[in-house]
Chains A and B, each alone.
Chain A
Amino acid sequence: MSNKGRTLIRMGLLGLTCGIILCAGPASARFRQAQVTIGQGPSSVVCTNGPSFNLRATDGHISVPDGNSIYMWTFAEVGGPFQVPSPVLCVDEGATVTVNLTNELAEPVSIIFPGHVGVNTTGGTPGLFTAEAPPAGSVTYSFVASEPGTYLYESGTEPRKQIEMGLHGALIVRPSLGANYAYNDAATEFDPGREYLMLLHDIDHNLHQAVEWGEPYDYTTTRDYYWTINGRAFPDTLAPNSVAWLPAQPYSALLVVEPYDATTNPLPILLRYLNAGLQNHPFHLHGNYTRIIAQDGRLLRGSGSEDTSYQSFTQTIGSGQTYDVFMRWTDVDGWATQSTPIPVDIPDLTNLFFHNAMTTWSGEVPLGEQGDVPVGVTVHNICGEYYLIAHSHALNEIQNFDEGMGGMTTFLRVDPPGGCMPVP
C-alpha cells in the first residue's frame, strides 16, 4: 500500500541509525587512503577478455567510505572473486559471445544484453525477459557481437530488484579497425592507455539490507543513499585499480589526461559512460567539454556519414544508456611562473582556506610546478599536476549517506606534458 510518510518523520530514525551503524569512519581518513594512492597504479579500464565467459551470480559486501558495508549481488567470474561491478567483458567485433551463467543465489537470475540482436539461450528455465538460471542451476547465452561499442549487461529477472542489487556490468565490443578505436571510423582513435570506465549506479541500502535479512521492502518509497562510479563511492573512486583495501571493488574511476599537443599528444582520452542505476544522472566533468561520439553502442553519424557528435559540459546519462565521449584538455594559457605569469596576484597563502587533509594543489599555478603551502596542509601532489573534479551535478548524489563530499564523484588528473614524474 501507499506509504507516504513525509521524510521529516523518517529523519529522526535516520539520525539514530546513522549514529550507531553507518557513520563510523570520517571520510577524510578514507580520502587520505585513496589520495596517497593516486598515481600509484593504473586506473584505466580492466578487461576480462572473451569471447567465452563463465560467470556466477553470487553475493558479498562492498565498502563505502562512511564506514558502511552494503550487501550486493554480482556476476563474478567462475573461479574468481566476488566483485562489484561485474567484470568488464571485452570482445572483438564479430565474435560469438558465449556467457555461461551459474546461479549461486537463492532465486532465479538471468542476463539480458541491451542493444544486441539474436541472443540465443541454452538451458535454464523460461523467464519474463529471457531464460533464467534457477538456484544452483545454469543457463547459457550466446550472440554475435555484430556492432562495436559500449553496452550494459544486466539481470532480466525482477530487474527492479536485481539490477540495483548489483547484477549488472559493462560489455565492450572492440571494432575491427583496432582496439585503439572506439568504432570503425578513423576519427574515433583514442589514447589506448587512457580508456576509462564510468559505470554509474544508485543504491538504497535499505533494499540491500532487506534482501540480506529476508525482510520485505516497499519499492514505492525507495530513496537512494549511495551513488557509485564503477562500484566505488568517492573518495574510493580515486584509488587505483585493485587496491588491497577494496578487495571487492577492483575498478578505479580516476581519469588522467595530458595536455593536447598536435604532435606529441594528439589523441583524446575515451570515457565509456554507462548508467545501470534507476535514475538519470547529469554528469559534469570539470576541465573541458566532452565530445559525445556515440550513444548506446552507435556512433553518431548521419545517413550521409555526417559527423553528428556534439560537445557538452554536462552529459545526462539516462537510465540504461551508454555514451562514449572523448575528452581533451589544452593548456591554452600556458601560464609559467617567469615568462607568462597569471594576471592576478595570489595572496599570501595564509589568507586562503585549505582543506588541511584533502588538498591536491601543487602550491603553484602553472602545470608541472610545485610550491609551498601553509604549514599543516597535507598536499597530495606528485609533479605539479592539476586535479579537477568530475561528478554528478544532482549534488544530493555526491554524498555518502549523510557525509559529503562523496558518492558519484571522481577526479580528472591533468599531468604535465610527458607524464607525471615526482619533482625532485
Chain B
Amino acid sequence: MRARATTIIGLGLIFAAMALLLIAVPALAEPQSNPAEARQAEPVRAAPLGATVSVDLCAKAGTLTLPDSTVVDTWGFAIKPASVACTDVSVQAQVPGPLLEFTAGDSISITLHNALAEQASIVFPGQDLMPDHVGAAPGGSVAYSFTVDEPGTYLYESGTFSDTTAAVQVAMGLYGPLVVRPTTAGQAYGTPASAYDREAVLVLSEIDPDLHANPTTFNLLDYSPQYWLISGKAYPETDPILALPEERVLLRYVNAGLWNHTLTVLGMHQTVIAVDAYVKNYPHEAVSLIIPSGQTWDSIATLPAGAPFGTSFPLYSRNLFLSNENTFPGGMMTFITYDPTLLPYRNYLGLGM
C-alpha cells in the first residue's frame, strides 16, 4: 500500500492519510521477513497519473526520549486521521515529521491543523508554490496545494519566523522528509543511474535540550547541541539499514539540522546522484559528504560482494558527533548491515512496509 491510489478525492484523503500513517515510522529500511508480502507491496498504480493526494497534518507539542532517557519537549508534525482532532492523545507529534511520499505528477493538497500555542506553517523547498511564512493561528488550519512534478528527496519544515519565535520551530522538531517517486519503480529519478534495491531516508538533526526547555526565551547564541540524530534517533537507537551484498542502497540524506554535517560511509564509496533533488549531470563517487543545513543528497552505496554475513558498514558523522551528551558511543551513527535473513530482492520498494 502506498501513499496514493485513488481518483476519488474524498476517499483519497482517507487512504492517503492511512497509508502515510503506516509508513510514518522513521524512515529506515527494515528486515523484509516475508518476501511474498513484499512482492505484493510493489506499487500497483490503480490511479492515473496526476492523481490528487490529500494529507492532513497536525502541528502539536510532544516529547522525544533520547538513549540516555533524557526526555525533551518537542513540536512536531503528525498525520491527522479523519474525524480525530489534533489535540486527541492518539495523535502523537513525530520528530522528524511523517514521511510524505508521492508520485511525480500528483496534485498534492496538504492541510496543516495547528494545535500549537503559536502560529505555525510549512514551507516546501523545491516545490512549486509560494512559501508560506504566515501559516495558521493556534487552533486554525492552512492548506497548501501544489503539483509534485520532479522526483527526488525533499525537506519540508516550518516556515514561521516572527519577531518572537525566530527559527526555533524547526529546531523544536517541525521538519520532515518528502519523497517524490518517479513513475518507474525502483529508480530514484526515473533513470537507470538512479536504480536501487533498498533505500533509507536519513534525516539529520541536532538536539540542544536547553532550547527545547525554553523555546520562546532561548538565546540562539547559546545553541550547543548535545545529541545528534538520524531520523529522530541517536545511536544506539538508530535503525540499521539492512541489505545484501551487491545490492544498491539509496541513501536519501535530508539535513534538517541547524548545523552543516559531514557524513561518511565505510567499506564502500557512495555515488552522489542528486543534490536538492536536482540530478547531477555527472554523478561522482565519494566517501565523505558535506551536507549543508537544509540540503538533501541522494547517493547510492553498493554493498561489496563477498562480505561475510553480518558485516556492518558504519555510516556516521565524520565531524565525529558520536556521543549522547558526553557518552560514547552515540550520536549521528548507524550501520548498513548485511542481514543474512534478508532474501535477495531487487527493486524492493517502500520504506519499512
Contacts and interface: CB of A to CB of B under 8 A. Distances in A.
Please determine if A and B sit in direct contact within the complex, based on CB atoms under 8 angstroms apart: yes
Nearest to A118: B304
Contacts of B319: 278-279, 319
Interface of B is mostly: loop
A185 interface: no
B268 interface: yes
A302 B282 CA distance: 5
Contacts of B287: 114-115, 296-297, 320-322
Given A2-B210, A4-B224, A114-B264, A320 B318 contact: yes
B98 interface: no
Interface stretch (B8-16, B30-38, B324-332): B324-332
Nearest to B225: A220
A372 interface: no
A112 interface: yes
Nearest to A302: B282
Contacts of B282: 300-303, 306, 308
B285 interface: yes
A318 B323 contact: no
Interface string A114-137: 111111000000001100000000
Interface in A155-180: 156, 158-161, 163-164
A163 B289 contact: no
B124 to A, nearest CB: 28
Contacts of A161: 328
Interface in A316-374: 316, 318-322
Interface of A is mostly: loop
A252 interface: no
Contacts of A303: 193, 282-283
B71 interface: no
Contact of A296 (B226, B281, B288): B288
Contacts of A322: 287
B93 interface: no
B262 A2 contact: no
Size class of the A contact interface (CB-based, 8 Å): 35 or more
A282 to B, nearest CB: 11
B322 interface: yes
A219 interface: yes
Contacts of B304: 117-118
Interface in A288-319: 295-298, 300-303, 306, 308, 316, 318-319
B294 interface: no
Given A117-B267, A119-B267, A320-B262, A220 B325 contact: yes
B316 to A, nearest CB: 8
A52 interface: no
B314 A129 contact: yes
B320 interface: yes
B290 interface: yes
B222 interface: yes
B290 A316 contact: yes
A170 B266 CA distance: 16
Kindly name the residue among A160, A161, A297, A318 whose own CB sees the greatest number of chain B CB atoms within 10 A.
A318
A1 interface: yes
A321 B304 CA distance: 21
B320 A160 contact: yes
Interface string B257-288: 00010101011110000000000011111111
Contacts of A2: 208-210, 224, 226, 325
A280 B224 CA distance: 18
A318 B292 CA distance: 11
Given A114-B264, A163-B320, A308-B282, A318 B289 contact: yes
Contacts of B328: 158, 160-161, 219
B70 to A, nearest CB: 10
B220 interface: no
A218 interface: yes
A278 B226 CA distance: 16
Contacts of A158: 328-329
B318 A318 contact: yes
Interface in B193-227: 193, 208-210, 222, 224, 226
Contacts of A280: 260, 262, 290
Interface string A161-203: 1011000000000000000000000000000000000000000
B166 interface: no
A280 B289 CA distance: 11
A26 B262 CA distance: 36
Contacts of B318: 278, 318-320
A220 B290 contact: no
Interface string B286-329: 11111000000000000010110000001000111011011011
B32 to A, nearest CB: 25
Interface in A236-282: 278-280
B266 A4 contact: no
Contacts of B267: 116-119
Contact of A159 (B209, B288, B289, B320): B320
B242 to A, nearest CB: 18
Of all A-B residue pairs in the complex, the 10 with the closest CB atoms, nearest first, are A320-B318, A320-B288, A302-B282, A296-B287, A318-B290, A298-B285, A160-B320, A319-B318, A319-B262, A117-B304
Interface of A: 1-2, 4, 112, 114-119, 128-129, 156, 158-161, 163-164, 218-221, 278-280, 295-298, 300-303, 306, 308, 316, 318-322
Interface of B: 193, 208-210, 222, 224, 226, 260, 262, 264, 266-269, 281-290, 304, 306-307, 314, 318-320, 322-323, 325-326, 328-329
10 contacts: A2-B224, A115-B287, A118-B307, A160-B323, A218-B326, A220-B226, A280-B262, A295-B284, A298-B269, A320-B262
Given A129-B266, A296-B285, A319-B318, 10 more contacts: A112-B266, A114-B287, A161-B328, A164-B320, A219-B323, A278-B318, A278-B319, A295-B286, A301-B282, A303-B283
